[in-house]
Amino acid sequence: MRKYFGTDGVRGIANEELTAELAFKIGRSTAYVLKSHDHPLNNVLIARDTRISGEMLEAALVSSVLSMGFDVTTCGVMPTPVLAWLTRRNHSVGFMVSASHNPWMHNGIKIFSNGYKLQDKLEEEIEKHLSDDLKSIEIGRRIQKNMLSEYVEWMVRRYAHLKGVRIAFDLANGAAVSTVPTITSEIGMKTTLFNSNPNGVNINEKCGALHPEFLSERIENAEVDFGVIHDGDADRCIMIGKHGYVVDGDDMLVLNAKFMKENGRLGADTVVGTVMTNLAIEESLKRNNIEFVRTKVGDRYVLEKMQEIGATLGGEQSGHIIFLDLVTTGDGLLTAFETISTCLKFGIDIEEFSHKVKRYPQKLENVSVKDKKTIMSNSRVIKFVEEVNSQEEIRLVLRPSGTESLVRVMVEGKTQEIVDKTVSRACKIVKEVSDSGEIS
């Protein structure tokens, strides 16, 4: 059982749970383990988002990797998908210092090798060596280099046809500020930027992918063709139609799948989603002779399934979409450009398209608990979930948060009344079990 690594790297409150000391140990242990497994450590890349603790954790990681005898290139502020793209292009290892969509006081460390996040077994091995006295007789050198130019050039070449498109961006005061202004300017887009002035503590603050209403309210009557919203590390994309209608990841999966298939890009004629994906999405895809496969929540599980079955499109309602024929992880800007390209090529109004994908009522609530692992293994909770899911008109998913002491309760059904009642019952049972301290 891993103590530090969750579904998306190591997360915690900076300087409390995720300290500089822990970051140093993670960097040192990672270098030791990956070297033993012949991963490419000729030049380690380290990037961060805009939160104030990023420089502290970056410095700790730099020192730890240098102490193990490997050179380090510090990339500064950079989106997570750009770092992943660079590690694949340069056959290297990268550390991303970011807590994605979480508030500024949180931070995290994600590790990539050749474009992909590390496998669970490697993360477990890294944890085993965190307290070891690891040393090297060699000392690495720190290199400071503008690593963004390669990615910028690639994006500008691929999406040059979007010249003149009018887009309003919400950059969440996050890492997208390092790429979006440059790329859109070089393409020749007409852009309006919101939340593009990070100060270290305003990342994701009442803006970004968790708050689409911010941009929706501002472009409802503006002269724009699309709105694009990122989260703090820019691996997500939520879109807004020209009249302010929110278009989420589920909509983009359906839209892109239909036309990737038409162009021969849809691997295995299959889309990969999660247990949280609305049933209406699955039904819409199947009407277009496209298969749909579900995984656990988390982009790493979506990616694993895509690789297993040969799919090239997968993602989540949150806007984390993977175009595996182009990149190895969710890339918010690429997702936006792919979706816009599809709309323009086939004359699609993204709002009208989204309205046609009728959703089943779905509701999500978070329940604060003392021990989320105990809740998920409790016999009373398990029995209730089985009873609900034995009925045809309702679907219940309980899952522990990967970063907080929460159990997420999602219910989907044919009527809002059934959904509301089931959510209420589920939350009550979870809370009762947590408060009573039941362990079985």
Which residues are registered as beta bridge partners of 191? 167
> 140, 65 in Cβ contact below 8 A?
yes
> Phi/psi at 202 (nearest 5 deg)?
-105, 10
Length of the chain: 440
100 has catalytic annotation: yes
Task: Output the 3-class SS for the chain.
Answer: CCCCEEECEEEEEECCCECHHHHHHHHHHHHHHHHHCCCCCCCEEEEECCCCCHHHHHHHHHHHHHHCCCCEEEEEECCHHHHHHHHHHCCCEEEEECCCCCCCCEEEEEEEECCEECCHHHHHHHHHCCCCCCCCCCCCCEEECCCHHHHHHHHHHHCHHHCCCEEEEECCCCHHHHCHHHHHHHHCCEEEEECCCCCCCCCCCCCCCCCCHHHHHHHCCCCCCEEEECCCCCCCCEEECCCCCEECHHHHHHHHHHHHHHCCCCHHHEEEEECCCCHHHHHHHHHCCCEEEEECCCHHHHHHHHHHHCCCEEECCCCCEEECCCCCCCCHHHHHHHHHHHHHHHCCCHHHHHHHCCCCCEEEEEEECCCHHHHHHCHHHHHHHHHHHCCCCEEEEEEECCCCCEEEEEEEECCHHHHHHHHHHHHHHHHHHHHHCCCC
Pairing of strands 291-295, 270-274: parallel
Pairing of strands 93-97, 116-117: unpaired
Q: Distance between CA 37 and CA 30 in Å, rounded?
A: 11
Which residues are registered as beta bridge partners of 227? 168, 240
> Out of 100, 178, 318, 354, which one is annotated catalytic?
100
* Distance from the first to the final alpha carbon of the chain: 19
Q: Distance between CA 178 and CA 186 in Å, rounded?
A: 14
Residues with active-site annotation:
100
